Amino acid sequence: QGQAGYYLTAHAGFKVGGAPSSNKERGNTLWELCEVEDHVGAERYFTTVMTRLKVAEGEDPLMLRWSAIAGSSQFWTEGPLSEEYLQLEGDVNKLRGELESLKTQRRRLEEEVGILWSSLDGARDDRARLEGDVLSLTEVAMLLEAKLKDEGAKAVVGYKASQGFELGLKKMGWVSYEFEYRVALKRLRGKHPEIKIKQDPFAECPEDANIRMDLSQPFDDSPPSEK
């Protein structure tokens, strides 16, 4: 007898597992029935199923819940279980809808994750490329700095050897000479107010404003020749 009230019996005179049974007074077990060969006739054994199920008490997983349901009854439209069935059917449909919504969200999230992974790969590639560019620019800057330093030294040497530098030094000498001249002239007038100076050699004359002069013309500070 099983837990659900099923009874299995069989005649003992047929072939089980390739050999005749040694005990003809007992029924065969379920294991032995599963080993019956195909060529044994159906008239040699039979199975009796009990349809009157016993209602068990307790919280056992095999406990019958809806023992009042008959095989031909439409419990979803009539009877005391119809209300519970409709409620359960509504819950099942709701859960199916939620499941489909979750599946849709999952697919959308998987697509977003794929897009983010692609963006991350692109950002990594951009970072590697920018790091390479920064390294190249750093090397170029160092090379230009060394070249500028070398060219700067050459430019200073060349400028000092040029005529413009020499002319600049001469002009600086002129300025220094002019400053000393004016200082001496102020001192002279301070000591001798009655003295008169005929001409200021550094005075700007209007008639000399339109005269063009070569800036590279050598300065001649020799005394003027007597005529």
State how far the Cα of 46 lies from the Cα of 39, in Å rounded to an integer: 15
- The more confidently predicted of residues 100 and 90 is 100
Kindly state whether residue 53 falls inside one of the protein's structural domains.
yes
Across 1-10, 88-97, 132-141, 150-159, least confident range: 1-10
- The more confidently predicted of residues 122 and 73 is 122
Kindly state whether residue 181 falls inside one of the protein's structural domains.
yes
**Residue at which a domain ends, from 65, 86, 113:** 65
Kindly state whether residue 180 falls inside one of the protein's structural domains.
yes
- In this prediction, residue 130 carries a pLDDT of 93
- In this prediction, residue 205 carries a pLDDT of 66
**Residue at which a domain ends, from 41, 65, 89:** 65
Position 35 confidence tier, pLDDT thresholds 50, 70, 90:
low
- The more confidently predicted of residues 90 and 128 is 128
Across 46-50, 145-149, 169-173, 185-189, least confident range: 46-50
Position 120 confidence tier, pLDDT thresholds 50, 70, 90:
very high
Q: Report how far apart, in Å, the C-alpha atoms of 57 and of each of 51, 65, 139, 172, 221 are.
A: 19, 10, 88, 124, 137
- The more confidently predicted of residues 96 and 190 is 96
User: What are the φ/ψ torsions at residue 16 (nearest 5 degrees)?
Assistant: -120, 125
Predicted confidence (pLDDT) at residue 83 exceeds the cutoff of 60: yes
Q: For the chain, what is the mean pLDDT?
A: 69
The residue among 49, 77, 51, 53 whose CA lies nearest residue 66 is 53
Kindly state whether residue 115 falls inside one of the protein's structural domains.
no
- In this prediction, residue 188 carries a pLDDT of 78
Average pLDDT of the residues in 9-36: 51
Range of the domain at 176: 163-193
Position 114 confidence tier, pLDDT thresholds 50, 70, 90:
very high
**Residue at which a domain ends, from 38, 65, 92:** 65
Q: Report how far apart, in Å, the C-alpha atoms of 196 and of each of 97, 142, 189 are.
A: 118, 65, 9
Kindly state whether residue 150 falls inside one of the protein's structural domains.
no
| Domain total in the chain | 2
89 token code pair: 């059917």
Q: Which residue has the tokens 């499941």?
A: 99
Kindly state whether residue 112 falls inside one of the protein's structural domains.
no
State how far the Cα of 116 lies from the Cα of 62, in Å rounded to an integer: 50
Predicted confidence (pLDDT) at residue 177 exceeds the cutoff of 90: no
Kindly state whether residue 31 falls inside one of the protein's structural domains.
yes
Q: What is the 3-class SS of the chain, one letter each residue? A: CCCCCCECCCCCCCEECCEECCCCCCCCCHHHHHCECCCCCHHHCCCECCCCCCCCCCCCCCCCCCCCCCCCCCCCCCCCCHHHHHHHHHHHHHHHHHHHHHHHHHHHHHHHHHHHHHHHHHHHHHHHHHHHHHHHHHHHHHHHHHHHHHHHHHHHHHHHCCHHHHHHHHHHHHHHHHHHHHHHHHHHHHHCCCCCCCCCCCCCCHHHCCCCCCCCCCCCCCCCCCC
- In this prediction, residue 54 carries a pLDDT of 54
Kindly state whether residue 44 falls inside one of the protein's structural domains.
yes
